[in-house]
Amino acid sequence: MPNSLLAVVAPPNRILMGPGPSDISPRVLAAMAAPTVGHLDPYFLRIMDEMQTMLREVFRTENELTLAVSGTGSAGMETCVVNLIEPGDRMLVCQNGVFGGRMADVAGRAGAEVSTIERPFGEVFDPAEVAAAVKEHAPKVVGIVHAETSTGAWQPLEEISQIVHDAGALLLVDCVTSLGGVPVEVDAWGLDAVYSGTQKCLSCPPGLAPVTFSAKAVEVIDNRKSKVASWYLDMTMVRSYWGGERAYHHTAPINMNFGLHEALRIVLEEGLPARHARHMENHLALKAGLLAMGIEYSVPEGQQLPMLNSVFIPAGVDDAAARRQLLEEFGIEIGGGLGPVKGKTWRIGLMGEASSRRNVLLFLAALDKVLADQSVASSGGAGVAAANSSYASA
């Protein structure tokens, strides 16, 4: 292998407006490059304590078992499922996109008797159908996705949480894309097991999965009859490392944790209400611009996630060529559709650091150029004008 031919890592400086990762603050990148210390170094233990404090504030919870799992968001999903589920337990999964489907798959592997209710991509569940399914299946755990990253649909949770708890079940929620972009009220809504990722609205590189478990969920974990299927994700051991005992389990990804620590500081400096308002403001401006260009959302009004704008690709546009041009000519990454909407939708992210006025305006201007080059349409800057007007009226 001619190793001498391999160049040093020198990535292009992208504008990350896809479904994640999102743009990363230079402050977070600098923290990632801080000198590595040992995973039992007193300094690192302090950082872990601070991260737990900040994660609780971001999750809006007092849950003791709140920490960052040493894997990406999907590892967070698996952590929540395998710690609550024992072989033969019934789990109901609400499936309206790729990530609900993934949750059902994970639950099946953990030995759950899985039942699902389904909605087409882009739709959300109403409380009545969840109530009916809970009544029919009497599950131990109900799993649902707050922000479906594959479709851009925003699932209301409060009523569903009530229904699930009235039936004596636990509510397990995917907040990978919602956390830090729209309100996530773990305690007020009574969510029992929640996982997120770092690379969406927290604007930290991928590699960790914040999770939190309610007291009731912890009780279920404490009363398990069988070992957790995954050693790596076993909260009965991981919590001893994050908790007072500091029992060695696995070596934490030190520098990833440094990065998330700084990302959480940035989130809390801005404040959650201001951060949510910023995500909404930029979403509305982007939407005004897209609509002015004749581009339609694939999610009904009122259920659209502000940080993940899923729109139908205009007729006659070459999906791959358009995204390639955005990337190569403007350095802008957006996402294609997943699953049944592959080739039919684009997913335009405005997550965390990437949710900015300059990104909205640049993207609309760039898209105008791309569509014109494909001889499909030119809005003559109507998109940019509409977005500017949205900001002015905000």
- In whole angstroms, the minimum distance from the beta carbon of 267 to a second copy comes to 9
- In whole angstroms, the minimum distance from the beta carbon of 181 to a second copy comes to 16
Nearer to a second copy, 11 or 244 (CB): 11
Which positions ≥6 away from 193 have C-beta within 8 Å? 80, 83, 84, 141, 170, 171, 172, 173, 211, 212, 213, 214, 217
- In whole angstroms, the minimum distance from the beta carbon of 245 to a second copy comes to 14
Nearer to a second copy, 226 or 378 (CB): 226
For the purposes of burial, counting CB atoms within 10 Å of the CB of 295, is it exposed (0-12), middle (13-18) or buried (19 or more)?
buried
CB 140, CB 169: distance < 8 Å? yes
Half-sphere exposure of 171 (CA within 13 A, CB side): 23
- In whole angstroms, the minimum distance from the beta carbon of 99 to a second copy comes to 11
Nearer to a second copy, 20 or 143 (CB): 20
- In whole angstroms, the minimum distance from the beta carbon of 225 to a second copy comes to 14
The torsion angle over the Cα atoms of residues 267, 271, 275 and 278, rounded to 10 degrees, is: -130
Nearer to a second copy, 22 or 298 (CB): 22
Directed axis angle between helix 272-292 and helix 382-393, to 10°?
140
Q: Residue 118 pairs with which residues in a beta bridge?
A: 95
- In whole angstroms, the minimum distance from the beta carbon of 20 to a second copy comes to 6
Nearer to a second copy, 30 or 394 (CB): 30
Nearer to a second copy, 122 or 207 (CB): 207
- In whole angstroms, the minimum distance from the beta carbon of 289 to a second copy comes to 22
Nearer to a second copy, 248 or 378 (CB): 248
